[in-house]
Amino acid sequence: MRPAPFRFAGATAVVTGAAGGMGEHLARGLAERGSTLLLVDRDAAKLGAVAASIRSSYPDAAVTTFVVDLVRRDAVDEVASEILAATDTVDLLINNAGVALAGTFDQITMEDFDQVMAVNFHAPVRLTHHLLPLMRAGAHIVNVSSLFGLVAPAGQSAYSSSKFALRGFTEALRNELLPRGIGTTTVHPGGIRTNIARNARLGGNLDEAASRKARGGFDRLLTFPADRAADLMLEAVKNRSPRLLIGWSATLPDVVARVAPLSFGTLQRHLASLSRLPALLPATLRRGAGTGRGGASVEPKPDGVLEGGLLRVDGVRIRYRDEGAAEKTPVLLLHGIGRSLEDWEGLYARLAPDHRVISIDLPGFGLSERTAGRYSMETIARFVLAALDTLGERRPLHVVGNSLGGAVAMKLSVLAPERVRSLVLANSAGFGKEVTLALRLLAVRPVGRVLMRDKSRKAAYRTERAVFYDRAFVTEERLDHAQEVGRNPVHDDVMLAVAGHLGTVGGVRRRWRTELLRSVAAQRKPTLVVWGDEDRVLPASHLEHARTAFPHAEFHLFEKCGHMPQIEREEEFDALVRRFVADADTDHDAPTHQGFRNV
């Protein structure tokens, strides 16, 4: 379990690299929050000036400075001893100091390489080792990695090695320290506007022209304000976030690293001008393939199951989950708009013993790539059918859909009635015009684009809070995942496309839902419709519309439940679904199912 929120007031904080850039802003932010400061840097004059300025602005702040060159291991050990002598406790350690190095591996010397590793990796490790005995439950460690701790472009062999190493160290440390109540955060800044490029070390074998080019290319990445980055870091500490990505130049490569790792060639070729990434990455991700040398197209790779929980369907890579025995009755789980397969997390273990359970991140949602062309209910449903074909599953399915997933489930039944045995529709789209204002505004594309720009923790909280009646379900883990999903570079475009297809600012479009409900009702398949009585996305009044549209169906209303009954009423929902599916398996040719419950 994650420790309680960090309390800055009265905490003792050690910050390295505090004489400028993010380190200086971190020190000021900590002073403003009432922390005692132990500031470390190699530049005595600048460090002294920062300390004097903080004391002037915050007269009650206790500030102690330590001058050290972190390249030298003996100096690191010595400054650690000085810190141990100056305080009995360390509540927050921020290993922020770092140095850049320009040059390809054959342009730098081993001395250059070792110096970068010393400052960026060995110094944080040694300081952590020395100071950890002073850290008690409630303490926190922040290690500042980099964009280049997510991807490793040409010309950054030493720097990337040090930052990947620091990332791995911090992730391992988190698993070791979390049971002791000590939190950790790995920070991956993108291009932060500091002097790191100007102060970068140069490979010993670089000539003057190459040096200028390397510095200039690196400097062009640095656009994000350092003070804003520092505020985000302190907010991450407060919330005990295990990882923080700062700026789109970090978030986009992170998504590429997860979703389309083979696109790194494109990323590396354009890394010197990352401002072009928004135009480059969506095109790459849409097709699920990179480009060859000189921009030549690469032959499409065959569809099939890939490693890492991925599936290639029609050339598009999507995330999927397939559990249970292949010979068991198949159940397909479909999530809602802007969501992911994690929305079914509690059901896999419950359903898998008796069924083959399949779920996917619909194209463009979760961590999946998007399809080319226009989005519609039909194109999404046909893609789902293609995904099932790729998995070799062509038997009649029980399809369980939440929100948008419910409408997709109904469309599957219309397009391929022989492949859908029964429908479970949880707070499904399609039964009424009313929908939350947020989705109606997304249907107005210019307004939607403005709204989608907000990727903050607060925005993620608002979104998650809207789908649950009980705020206890808005966990830090769900917020972390919501932000991760929102960083998918195709997420915004797909959200806007689907929202525009489904509705207008006035609500859900009448034509598609009227035609869909009429076609599904004519099939009279076993259907279970459930709703949460406190749904703020699609109101529970839609359940009455469902009764009218599907007189053959079964119905259930969950009390004190929002838009996600499969999460908020997991056990109840699972029992209903398993009982319903068992009945449908027993007599799936029965022409009708009479309504059984309305709690």
* Residue 313 confidence (pLDDT): 95
Are 126 and 76 in contact by the 8 Å Cβ rule? The answer is yes
Rounded to whole angstroms, the Cα distance separating 505 from 448 reads: 11
Per domain, the residue ranges of the chain are: 12-247, 304-434+509-586, 437-504
Q: pLDDT of the chain along its 599 residues, tens only?
A: 567 899 999 999 999 999 999 999 999 999 999 999 999 999 999 999 999 999 999 999 999 999 999 999 999 999 999 999 999 999 999 999 999 887 889 888 999 999 999 999 999 999 999 999 999 999 999 999 998 898 888 888 999 999 999 999 999 999 999 999 999 999 998 766 555 544 555 555 555 555 554 544 444 455 578 888 899 999 999 999 999 998 766 776 676 666 545 444 444 444 433 333 333 333 333 333 333 333 333 455 678 888 888 999 999 999 999 999 888 899 999 999 999 999 999 899 889 999 999 999 999 999 999 998 899 999 999 999 999 999 999 999 999 999 999 999 999 999 999 999 999 999 999 999 999 999 999 998 888 898 899 999 999 999 999 999 999 999 999 999 999 999 999 999 999 999 999 999 899 999 999 999 999 999 999 999 999 999 999 999 999 999 999 999 999 999 999 999 999 999 999 999 999 999 998 865 444 443 333 44
Rounded to whole angstroms, the Cα distance separating 413 from 332 reads: 12
* 304-434+509-586, CATH topology level: Rossmann fold (3.40.50)
- Picking from 514, 508, 516, 530, the residue whose alpha carbon sits closest to that of residue 579 is 530
Rounded to whole angstroms, the Cα distance separating 464 from 482 reads: 8
**What letter represents residue 392's amino acid?**
G
* Residue 595 confidence (pLDDT): 38
Assigned token pair, 349: 């273990």
Strand 192-193, strand 224-225: pairing: parallel
Q: Which CATH architecture has domain 12-247?
A: 3-Layer(aba) Sandwich (3.40)
Cβ neighbours around 575 below 10 Å, total? 12
Rounded to whole angstroms, the Cα distance separating 316 from 363 reads: 8
CA distance readout (Å), 416 to 112, 399, 560 = 63, 12, 36
CB burial class (10 A; 0-12, 13-18, 19+) of residue 314? middle
Are 364 and 371 in contact by the 8 Å Cβ rule? The answer is yes
Rounded to whole angstroms, the Cα distance separating 543 from 168 reads: 49
* Residue 349 confidence (pLDDT): 87
* Residue 594 confidence (pLDDT): 39
Reported for 4-8, long-range contacts at CB under 8 A and 24+ positions apart, including other chains, are: 4/138, 4/240, 5/238, 5/239, 5/240, 6/92, 6/138, 6/140, 6/183, 6/237, 6/238, 6/240, 7/138, 8/33, 8/34, 8/35, 8/92, 8/234, 8/237, 8/238
Report which DSSP code applies to 382: H
Can 375 be counted among the known catalytic residues?
A: no
* Residue 255 confidence (pLDDT): 63
Report which DSSP code applies to 303: P
Chain center to CA of 163: 20
Are 144 and 128 in contact by the 8 Å Cβ rule? The answer is no
Rounded to whole angstroms, the Cα distance separating 29 from 33 reads: 6
* Residue 331 confidence (pLDDT): 97
Strand extents, DSSP E, 448-574: 503-504, 507-508, 527-532, 554-558
Task: Exactly one of 58, 159, 461, 469 is catalytic; name it.
Answer: 159
Which residues fall within 8 angstroms of residue 318, CB to CB, at 6 or more apart? 310, 311, 312, 360, 361, 362, 363, 368, 369, 387
CA distance readout (Å), 336 to 294, 305, 427 = 40, 24, 10
Rounded to whole angstroms, the Cα distance separating 533 from 469 reads: 9
12-247 matches 304-434+509-586 in fold: yes
Which residues fall within 8 angstroms of residue 50, CB to CB, at 6 or more apart? 18, 19, 20, 24, 27, 39
